[in-house]
Amino acid sequence: MTRREAYDYGVEQLEAEGIENAECDIRILLEDLCGVDREELFIGPDKVISRRETEIFMNAVTRRMGHYPMQYITGKQYFMGLTFTVSPDVLIPRQDTEILVEEVLKELNDGSRILDMCTGSGCILLSLLYYSNDCEGVGVDVSEDALKVARDNAGRLILDETFDLLFKTGGMGKKHLDEERIEFIESNLFNDVRGKFDIIVSNPPYIRSDVIPTLMEEVRDYEPILALDGKEDGLFFYREIIKKSPEYLNGGGKLFFEIGYDQADEVKKLMEEAGFKDIEVVQDYAHLDRVVWGRI
């Protein structure tokens, strides 16, 4: 099979199944799985890809035809300028969540201690540590399978950063990610959490149980329900985290949440009732409420 034949076949199959952005998906699969980037595709369309690469590509196309998420096929997702490993054990990081990270970074001081509740892939905590100085963090999740992904991401980013320092800066520079400053623990919310923190951040499950069957196939059928289901009204985890957070925050500590577009008023009220002050609601680039945060 030539590069052009693979491309045309893949696009045709995905479009037949109603997959949006079929051309983009196929280009990504060819590049990630067969090492054929966009330029090579159009410069050398008649070059034959190997039998093994053809098998891998065809298998990936078949999975994508069933609306299996692209990120799970390629095993990675880009977030905050970094590359994270993802698997069906973790929610796929989304661009909207970058708003949460950016808001925390505005309030983050050098040397702060951060707790990331419902950490999943670890993308929030690791991004905060990567773009700050001398901070340390604890990522908490109830799923040990999710924590394996988070630990893998931490280890890979630490190695990548060490490589950059040694070979790109001649050994000069400051490493932001240090394995001694990162810990991931299995815990049902705060049950096994110890110590105090300057910042608690969370993107908890917040979709109402009755809404989940209406989600797009890629999300509903393949992403972990544990990371989506916010119980009857979508606010269960906000209540639990807000109720316990004051015990784990240092004086003046801050609590940050990602929220659903229609949850700002309820979450803000819960935080006010728990004693949080200076509460702010931040919108995303679509002008939808995305982040709520306040100070204890």
Tokens for 175, please give them: 């490493």
Judge whether 230 and 208 are in contact, CB under 8 Å: yes
Find the CATH number of the domain harbouring 251.
3.40.50.150
> pLDDT tens digits, residue range 63-104?
999 999 999 999 999 999 999 999 999 999 999 999 999 999
Is residue 73, in this structure, part of any structural domain at all? no
State the burial class of residue 55 (Cβ atoms within 10 Å of its Cβ: 0-12, 13-18, 19+).
exposed
Q: Quick one: 240 and 284 in the same domain?
A: yes
pLDDT for position 172: 56
Query: Which pLDDT value is given to residue 69?
Result: 97
Would you state the pLDDT for residue 170? 62
Assess whether 196 and 175 both reside in one domain.
yes
Three-state secondary-structure class, residue 10: helix
Among 225, 218, 215, 224, which residue's Cα sits nearest to residue 73?
218
- The two tokens of residue 173 are 């520079």
Residue 71 lies in a domain: no
Indicate whether 108 and 251 sit together in one domain.
Answer: yes
Radius of gyration of the chain from its Cα atoms, rounded to whole angstroms:
21
Same domain, 31 and 124: no
- The Cα–Cα gap between 28 and 76 comes to 12
State the total domains in the chain: 2
Residue type, 258: E
Q: Do both 116 and 233 map to the same domain? A: yes
**Which tokens belong to 10?**
């893949």
- The angle that helices 3-16 and 22-34 make with each other, rounded to 10 degrees, is 140
Please report which confidence band the pLDDT of residue 145 belongs to, taking 50, 70 and 90 as the band edges: very high
Model confidence pLDDT, tens digit, residues 238-264: 999 999 999 999 999 999 999 999 999
| Interatomic CA distance for residues 120 and 113, integer angstroms | 19
pLDDT, one tens digit per residue, over 30-53 is 999 998 888 888 788 899 999 999
Q: Count Cα atoms within 13 angstroms, Cβ side, for 231.
A: 7
Residue 165 has pLDDT above 80, yes or no: no
Amino acid code (one letter) for 133: N
Does 250 lie in the same domain as 112?
yes
Instruction: Assess contact for 256 and 245: CB atoms under 8 A.
Output: no
Whether residue 115 lies inside any domain: the answer is yes
Residue 74 lies in a domain: no
Q: Are residues 289 and 144 in the same domain?
A: yes
Are residues 171 and 134 part of one domain? yes
Among residues 205, 73, 87, 98, the alpha carbon closest in space to that of 152 is found at 87
Q: Which two three-digit tokens encode residue 17?
A: 């199944």
- Residue-number span of the structural domain to which 177 is assigned: 79-295
pLDDT at 159: 85
Do 16 and 119 lie in one domain? The reply is no
Taking the C-alpha atoms of residue 148 and residue 89, their distance in angstroms, rounded to an integer, is 9
The whole-model pTM stands at 0.93
